């Protein structure tokens, strides 16, 4: 019956309202009953007190018991109550009912003390022999002349009796309006639940439909985000997920296309020269040597590509071997810069070093050297002759997103690169090369980014920066980039200080 979320929400809201109404109604009825009883008993007490003050004077003027009974019946009829006179033993001496069935009956327990005229009235419940229950209010009668005409022992009590059915009917009169109010409340709550559940289920239905579209390959999905509640946050998260799925799908397609292109080129060369050798098109020793050299170079290129892909896959899966040892990053940077400086000289590019005193970091020295090598190799590859490349490193203190080196020097970080507060080592590699257009920066660390024609180069496997990011991430660090087309590029690597990792 309740097969949808919307129907279950409506049913749950109505059920909660119904239970609350039942509880409120029962509480109201109980309180009204108690209140009505208190009101009626207070009225009986006031009536009994008034009658007990008037009755002695009347009884003193009457000379016959039948006259006394007749007068008491007139008072009972006027008051719509049952009037009795009770003696000190708790026995009824006069009863205004026609049959007088309580005359001689015990209406007070033997242990009940009869109050004196200046004491409070007695209120108790009593049941007649025929099963009728009523409230009994007994008020002491002051002494009066003519008490000898009453049988029984003084002092005497005036008793007023009100049946339960006379006191309690008023709260029953409230049941019909209470029922009508409850019915109206249920109708209103059902309408409110309908609209409220729709406001909840509508975005969920939209998300379900969008998820089904994504499952069928339509990734251009977006859910409107309204408000700031959990549903709005869920819609925003869904939109982000859809964008990430679309981006991952596009990355996968680009990856397949780039891998196919990078494998097809060397395979074509290998196949062509192999076929030339087999068909006898190559006859001279120089031709054989040239064909063998090209086959070797292309196969070596394919080997590097496959090796880089395997390494990247292991890094992304967290399965690559990663040492955790103290690393003197200052010595590592100086050593590698000295080794690569001849290549800069051959390319006609000036290499500047600005390496300060650096604390020890924890990690894999060879992997970190691989990152630095990749960044410097890119700087050489994409910087024109007579250009400049700078490698700089500082120990900084990060507070509220701002990095400060010793001496108060501020170190700017690339946009979007946020570091936690603490001590870090920052290494930057900047060049005056061709730069990267702003629209390409978000994809700079993707696989095969070098396939972007804006870089103007086709050397390498195109996986270096993707591998570098995975290595730095595995060390608990961050890598960022800032660039301006035609001006240059600056990469920044942040690594946590070793003592920080051991706290």
- Give the model's pLDDT for residue 314: 77
- Give the model's pLDDT for residue 451: 38
Residue pLDDT, tens place only, 437-482:
888 888 788 776 653 444 444 455 667 888 889 899 988 899 999 9
Residue pLDDT, tens place only, 203-219:
778 888 888 888 877 87
- Give the model's pLDDT for residue 461: 60
What is the 3-state secondary structure of 225-277?
CCCCCHHHHHHHHHHHHHHHHHHHHHHHHHHHHHHHHHHHHHHHHHHHHHHHH
Other C-beta atoms closer than 10 Å to the C-beta of 79 total 18
101 neighbors 129 (Cβ within 8 angstroms): yes
378 neighbors 464 (Cβ within 8 angstroms): yes
Count the residues in the chain.
503
Burial class (CB in 10 A: 0-12, 13-18, 19+), 34: exposed
> Helix and strand tally (H, E) in the chain?
11, 14
Q: Where in the chain is the domain with CATH 1.10.287.130?
A: 221-320
- Give the model's pLDDT for residue 51: 80
**394 has which bridge partners?**
426
- Give the model's pLDDT for residue 409: 84
Q: What is the pTM of this model?
A: 0.52
Cα 498 from Cα 118, distance rounded (Å):
94
Q: Which residues of the chain have pLDDT under 70?
A: 1-6, 63, 65, 98-100, 117-118, 144-150, 165-174, 261, 448-462, 499-503
The domain made up of 221-320 has a fold known as Helix Hairpins (1.10.287)
Cα 128 from Cα 406, distance rounded (Å):
102
Q: Where is 140: in which H helix or E strand?
A: strand 133-140
C-alpha distances out from residue 445 to 249, 468, 480, 481, 486, Å: 16, 8, 9, 9, 20
Q: Where in the chain is the domain with CATH 3.30.565.10?
A: 325-501
The domain made up of 5-172 has a fold known as Beta-Lactamase (3.30.450)
Cα 163 from Cα 289, distance rounded (Å):
126
Cα 373 from Cα 339, distance rounded (Å):
10
Pairing of strands 388-399, 350-355: parallel
455 neighbors 468 (Cβ within 8 angstroms): no
Cα 232 from Cα 226, distance rounded (Å):
6
Q: Where in the chain is the domain with CATH 3.30.450.20?
A: 5-172
CATH 3.40.50.300 fits 325-501, yes or no: no
- Give the model's pLDDT for residue 98: 67
């Amino acid at each position: 019956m309740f097969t949808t979320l919307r129907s279950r929400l409506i049913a749950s809201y109505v059920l909660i309202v119904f239970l609350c109404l039942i509880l409120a109604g029962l509480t109201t009825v109980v309180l009204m009953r108690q209140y009505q009883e208190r009101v009626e008993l207070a009225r009986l007490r006031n009536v009994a007190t008034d009658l007990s003050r008037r009755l002695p004077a009347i009884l003193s003027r009457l000379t016959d018991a039948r006259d006394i009974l007749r007068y008491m019946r007139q008072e009972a009829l006027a008051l719509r109550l049952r009037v009795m006179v009770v003696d000190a033993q708790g026995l009824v001496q006069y009863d205004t009912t026609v049959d007088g069935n309580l005359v001689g009956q015990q209406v007070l327990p033997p242990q009940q003390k009869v109050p004196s005229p200046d004491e409070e009235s007695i209120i108790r419940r009593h049941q007649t022999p025929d099963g009728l229950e009523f409230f009994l209010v007994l008020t002491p009668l002051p002494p009066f002349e003519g008490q000898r005409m009453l049988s029984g022992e003084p002092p005497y009590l005036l008793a007023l009796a009100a049946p339960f059915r006379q006191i309690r009917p008023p709260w029953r009169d409230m049941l019909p309006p209470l029922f009508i109010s409850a019915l109206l409340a249920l109708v209103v709550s059902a309408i409110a639940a309908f609209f409220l559940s729709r406001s909840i289920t509508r975005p969920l239905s939209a998300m379900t439909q969008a998820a089904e579209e994504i499952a069928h390959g339509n990734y251009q999905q977006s859910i409107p985000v309204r408000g700031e509640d959990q549903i709005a946050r869920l819609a925003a998260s869904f939109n982000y997920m859809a964008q990430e799925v679309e981006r991952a799908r596009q990355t996968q397609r680009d990856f397949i296309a780039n891998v196919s292109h990078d494998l097809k080129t060397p395979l074509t060369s290998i196949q062509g020269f192999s076929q030339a050798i087999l068909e006898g098109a190559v006859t001279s020793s120089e031709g054989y040597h040239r064909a063998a050299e090209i086959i070797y170079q292309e196969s070596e290129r394919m080997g590097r590509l496959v090796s880089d892909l395997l390494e990247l896959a292991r890094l992304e899966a967290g399965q690559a071997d990663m040492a955790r040892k103290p690393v003197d990053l200052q010595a590592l940077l100086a050593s590698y810069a000295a080794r690569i400086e001849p290549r800069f000289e051959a390319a006609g590019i000036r290499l500047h070093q600005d390496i300060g005193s650096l604390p020890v970091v924890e990690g894999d020295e060879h992997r970190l050297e691989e990152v630095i090598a990749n960044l410097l190799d890119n700087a050489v590859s994409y910087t024109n002759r007579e250009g400049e490349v700078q490698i700089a490193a500082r120990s900084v203190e990060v507070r509220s997103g701002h990095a400060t080196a010793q001496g108060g020097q501020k170190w700017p970080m690339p946009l979007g690169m946020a570091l936690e507060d603490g001590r870090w080592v920052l290494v930057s590699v900047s060049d005056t090369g061709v730069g990267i257009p702003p629209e390409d920066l978000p994809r700079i660390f993707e696989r095969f980014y070098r396939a972007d024609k804006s870089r103007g180069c086709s050397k390498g496997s195109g996986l270096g920066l993707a591998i570098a990011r995975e290595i730095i991430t595995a060390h608990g660090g961050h890598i960022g980039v800032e660039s301006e087309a035609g001006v240059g590029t600056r990469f920044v690597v942040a690594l946590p200080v070793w003592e920080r990792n051991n706290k």
